[in-house]
Structure 1
Amino acid sequence: MARLTIKGVSKSFGTGFAVNDVSLDVEDGELVCLLGPSGSGKSTLLRMIGGFERPSAGEILIDAKDVTRLPPERRPTGMVFQSHALWTHWNVFDNIAFGLRLRRRPRAEIRERVEQALAMVGLADYGQRMTTQLSGGQQQRVALARSLVLEPKILLLDEPFASLDQHLREHLREEVKDIQSRLGITTLFVTHGQDEALALADRIVVMRDGVMEQVAPPDVIYRAPRTEFVAGFIGSMNFIRVTVEEGIGRHEDLTLPVPVADGPAVLGIRPEALSLTPSERPRAGRVHRSIDFGTHKLVDIDLLDGTRMKAMMPPETQVPRGLRVELGVSAFHVFRDGAQVYQAGARGSETERRVSHA
């Protein structure tokens, strides 16, 4: 299909930058998710790739051809917006056929390609329906078909499922992934939903304040975050501040081995890396509540200084409210000045570092 190259792209508004010096290569057939909170610059970057915004600096190349200053209609890209942007006075067929008619394709070709696009998104018998007669999920499928029918080299999706309910979002993202894999089309998908990014992406680009915090496959982003921001944004992460003295991280309630230079540090511990043991010690952590998700229980533990930790436990675990518990830690990250400086309990390690108390 196509290879996308972004070289030092920036977009300024007034004195500030929405996107600041971003460079990225997206390989042929790859699905990359741009993930970040509101205002991180992910949608602005996508709009620049599609030609709906012009960069203040930098270059955008598709298959080594500079498209930085080309308008959207002259780029080999197709864009699906969150708002669907369908014409309500036209039926489904005419909405999808519009771009082909602008390109003056023969009538027989238009019919064949529209019918193929409808079948691809699971709406084979919906061509004559008005868009107002469709559900939100069906409207989004029409918007996807309208882009795919033009056979773009690169598909751009700007939070297309944000307005849909959770169940429908999960169903449609599976369909989009299947279609993308089947067509082998290079795709960029903007979302602020971490679950969506983890489920869809070959690689995730985590953005913050217009810059890229980390670019990596989903498992690396989750298990080896480079920054404290990425660690907190992807999945659930417990953070606790410690003071490191002679290789020991000390906290009011606990200590554990932290082999970094002396000084303050932040520990990041995933809920699944915590284990609980009942304790009779008065200064032990106390269970605040336990939530049963069927496949597991998520237990909130309050430490003495008010820090709340979350532990993921087997569903049969009995952890009543108020129970005093000791914590076991099998893996953790150490951050300083927002960057990771050490990681304990590498992937696949069976070693558990037992927390000790002062």
Structure 2
Amino acid sequence: MSTLSIQGVSKRFSSETIAVDRVSLDVADGELVCLLGPSGSGKSTLLRMVGGFEDPTSGRIAIDGQDVTHLPPERRPTGMVFQSHALWSHMNVFNNLAFGLKLRRRPKVEIRDRVEAVLDLVGLKGYDRRMTNQLSGGQQQRVALARALILEPKILLLDEPFASLDQHLRERLREEVRDIQLRLKITTLFVTHGQDEALSMADRIVVMHDGRTEQADRPDVIYRDPQTPFVAGFIGTMNFIKGHVENGRFRHADLSVALAVSDGPVTLAVRPEALDLVAPDDRSRVVIHRVTDFGTHGLIDLHLSDGTRVKSMVPSPEPFQAGQAVGLAPRSFAAFRNDAKLSGIHHAR
């Protein structure tokens, strides 16, 4: 059983620079949790503190109940994979993988067996005598993963490991890494700024912004029920339409829907797949700007009368063309006021 507990951890680089601000997180045995956020959100700094490469200003980090807050990296039961691979170019693959075991003075037979086993695990059987500069970027990242796994860490730390790879290779490797993680049942903390990686790999996503946790939940909940405007806008594509609620109805120049909240300004958050296009009424001034055919679906870019740009996903783009006037009919939406969510997901009536 391997668990990670982060309790009120903060990191200040100066009196004015707070990289991580009182973050708490518990990662269960065998769970893969993704830290997701834009550059500067504090996610990599938090990961480095778990790995021992940064010291927290305050707070506590424990692995299996043991306080590791001030232990150096080599004394923590963690394995880290960096974005830059960080392989030794003067060593072949075997020696890159064997290095940590040699430092621990493991027998030669054990080292050889464990190197062969971990290379087989990451799909590089027979590559032990290759120099690292003879490998592709994807193969180098597999070696970096193997080097972290060969020491049998309790916690695997992944710091944007696919960021330097092309899209096709990135998709294939993240599937392979997730398969390996599930097979080994290793507790994993994974940093990325890619929504697709987080949504496809994680058991839970922690969305970070300005050093703080905005929301932590399952990927489907994060996508369908965002709790803040930042989460709503950062995960997937979201349309934001500003209007005003009066007598239980949200009103905008181009649409009106029932919304049982107190009167006042409100911003609707509507996913493109939940924004239907209908025949325009006499007051509608919504105009199609662009139609994109993705084969499996169409994406319609629209201009609202106040200049707001929104998108609608349709099964087929054929009925639509640029310049066409349409009406909007949101099927479901979230509502925000002053950066706070107003109850749950609303469905149009």
Give TM class, smaller chain: over 0.9
Q: Deviations over 1:261-287 (max 9, x none)?
A: 111111100001011124374743111
* Aligned-pair CA distance for 1:43: 0.2
* Distance in 2 separating the partners of 1:37 and 1:163: 16
| Residue identity in the other structure for 1:315 | S
Specify the alignment match of 1:55 in structure 2: 56
Q: Encode CA deviations 1:269-312: one digit per residue, 9 max, x unaligned.
A: 00010111243747431111111111111111111111111001
| Equivalent position of 2:107 in the other structure | 106
Q: How many residues align?
A: 348
Find out whether 1:14 has 2:14 as its counterpart.
yes
Q: Match for residue 267 of structure 2?
A: 266
Tell me what 2:256 maps to. Answer: 255
Question: How far off its partner does 1:172 sit?
Answer: 0.2
Contact 2:293/2:317, CA 8 A, preserved across alignment: no
1:182, distance to aligned residue in structure 2 (A): 0.1
**Residues 243-252 or 83-92, more deviating:** 243-252
**Letter matched to residue 238 of structure 1:** N
Task: After superposition, give the CA deviation of every residue in 1:8-63 in whole Å (9 maximum; x if it has no partner).
Answer: 10000111210011111000000000000000000000000000000000100000
Q: d(CA) in 2 for partners of 1:189 and 1:320?
A: 42
**CA deviation vs aligned residue, 1:195-249 (integer Å, no higher than 9, x gap):** 1000000000000000000000000000111101000000100001111111111
Mapping 1:200-219, distance limit 5 Å: 200-219=201-220
Aligned counterpart, 2:149: 148
Q: Distance in 2 between matches of 1:283 and 1:233?
A: 29
Contact 2:258 2:348 in 1 (8 A): no
Measured in 2, the distance between the counterparts of 1:279 and 1:27 equals: 51
What secondary structure sits across from 2:105 in the alignment?
coil
Name the CA distance, whole Å, in 2 between partners of 1:264 and 1:279.
25
The 2-side partners of 1:138 and 1:146 are apart by 12
Aligned position for 2:68: 67
C-alpha deviation, 1:258, in angstroms? 1.5
Deviation of 1:352 (Å) = 4.4
Shift of 1:143: 0.1
Q: What's the C-alpha RMSD, in Å, of the aligned pairs?
A: 1.2
Task: State the shift of 1:327 in Å.
Answer: 1.2
Asked if the contact 1:243/1:264 (under 8 Å) is kept, the reply is yes
TM-score (norm 1): 0.95
The alpha carbon displacement at 1:341 in A equals 0.9
In structure 2, relative to structure 1, the CA distance for the partners of 1:150 and 1:280 (3 Å cut) is: same
Question: Could you tell me the TM-score, scaled by structure 2's length?
Answer: 0.97
C-alpha deviation, 1:343, in angstroms:
3.4
Paired residue for 1:160?
A: 161
**1:95 has 2:112 as partner:** no
Q: Distance in 2 between matches of 1:320 and 1:259?
A: 35
The answer to whether the 8 Å contact 1:280/1:324 transfers is no
1:348 aligns with: none
Q: Answer yes or no: is the 8 Å Cα contact 2:257–2:348 preserved in 1.
A: no
Q: C-alpha distance in 2, partners of 1:282/1:50?
A: 59
Q: Secondary structure at the match of 2:29?
A: coil
Q: Tell me the distance in 2 between the aligned counterparts of 1:282 and 1:10.
A: 52
Moved more, 113-122 or 276-285: 276-285
CA distances 1:149-203 after superposition (whole Å, capped 9, x unpaired): 0000000000000000111000000000000000000000000000100000000
Matches within 5 A, 1:267-286: 267-279=268-280, 281=282, 283-286=284-287
Matched, 1:189 2:195: no
> Within 1, Cα distance between the matches of 2:280 and 2:247?
28
- Shifted more, 3-12 versus 276-285: the winner is 276-285
Cα distance between partner residues in 1 of 2:226 and 2:253:
26
- Aligned residue for 2:342, secondary structure, equals strand
- The one-letter code of the counterpart of 1:288 is H
SS at match of 1:69: coil
1:332 aligned partner, one-letter code: F
1:242 matched to which residue of 2? 243
Distance 2:210 2:255 in 1: 34
Percent identity over paired residues: 65
Structure 2 distance, partners of 1:6, 1:342, is: 29
Counterpart in the other structure of 1:356: none
Distance 1:294 1:24 in 2: 41
Letter in 1 for 2:6: I
CA distance in 1, matches of 2:285, 2:22: 48
